Amino acid sequence: MGEFVRLEVADGVGTIRLDRPKMNALNVQVQEEIRAAATEAAERDDVKAVVIYGGERVFAAGADIKEMADMSYTDMVKRSGALQSSFTAVARIPKPVVAAVTGYALGGGCELALCADVRIAADNATLGQPEILLGVIPGAGGTQRLTRLVGPSRAKDLIFTGRFVKADEALAIGLVDRVVPAESVYDEALAWAKQFAGAASYALRAAKEAVDRGSEVDLETGLEIERQQFAALFATEDRTIGMQSFVESGPGKARFVGR
């Protein structure tokens, strides 16, 4: 367990909890602790889905600018790959991942939320990529994941201007998937994650892999990724259980074992 990031597991759901007062600034230590928590969540069989949460007040207000301000070009050449890969570790968790976004999710905080499969935001949440106002650009996936999520013109508007986006606009442009009262954000995210506690784990893994990898390639290659993942699931015990249950009892009654 890290000093500022911990993985809490209960009832099949792992919560990656950021806790670096006051604003969950994402310094190098926090980045590496996020990587460690994501790796643990990916490997643990008792974690079926993951919530990323920064607490009731703030998700993450961005990078630790005081730490970054003194870095040279060569410092950042050395660090930038590790920065990106620490966030990619979250994106590559082979399980459903939901971000519970409260308060500010700016810069690196927005980029961390973009690594989730689904984003549930508080009605008072504020998101954005304001790096341009510091004379740089997003460096932890913002130019790529944001573009894939909301489209190039909207991504350019947000990145070029560095403007902040309130929850209602974030919902309208597809930056978040649901807006709920601030006091309900974590509970809503947890409820979404809990629905997968008894799901067919390898089928979920295959679905996520097919969608994520398929979106990075042409249609023909994406279809081949899908075909391979689909066929491979016929080697799993859950596929046998699911189809037998359907034949005998109808849909939605299978008790999967995660194998």
63 belongs to the catalytic site: yes
pTM: 0.94
Please pick, among 61, 103, 113, 131, the residue that the annotation labels catalytic.
131
Strands across the sheet containing 104-106: 104-106, 126-128, 164-166
Angle of CA points 134, 29, 117, to nearest 5°:
75
Q: CB atoms < 10 A from the CB of 62, how many?
A: 25
Please pick, among 38, 42, 63, 105, the residue that the annotation labels catalytic.
63
How would you write the pLDDT of the chain (259 residues) with one tens digit per residue? 799 999 999 999 999 999 999 999 999 999 999 999 999 999 999 999 999 999 999 999 988 888 889 899 999 999 999 999 999 999 999 999 999 999 999 999 999 999 999 999 999 999 999 999 999 999 999 999 999 999 999 999 999 999 999 999 999 999 999 999 999 999 999 999 999 999 999 999 999 999 999 999 999 999 999 999 999 999 999 999 999 999 999 998 999 999 9
User: What pLDDT, on a 0 to 100 scale, did the predictor assign at position 1?
Assistant: 78
Q: How many helical (H) and strand (E) elements, i.e. helices and strands, does the chain have? A: 11, 9
Q: Are 61 and 113 in contact (CB under 8 A)?
A: no
Q: Are 131 and 138 in contact (CB under 8 A)?
A: yes
Residue 107: DSSP 8-state: T
37 belongs to the catalytic site: no
User: What pLDDT, on a 0 to 100 scale, did the predictor assign at position 66?
Assistant: 87
Walk me through the domains of the chain, giving residue ranges and CATH numbers.
5-194 (3.90.226.10), 201-249 (1.10.12.10)
Please pick, among 108, 128, 139, 142, the residue that the annotation labels catalytic.
108
Burial class (CB in 10 A: 0-12, 13-18, 19+), 77: exposed
Please pick, among 14, 111, 189, 254, the residue that the annotation labels catalytic.
111
131 belongs to the catalytic site: yes
111 belongs to the catalytic site: yes
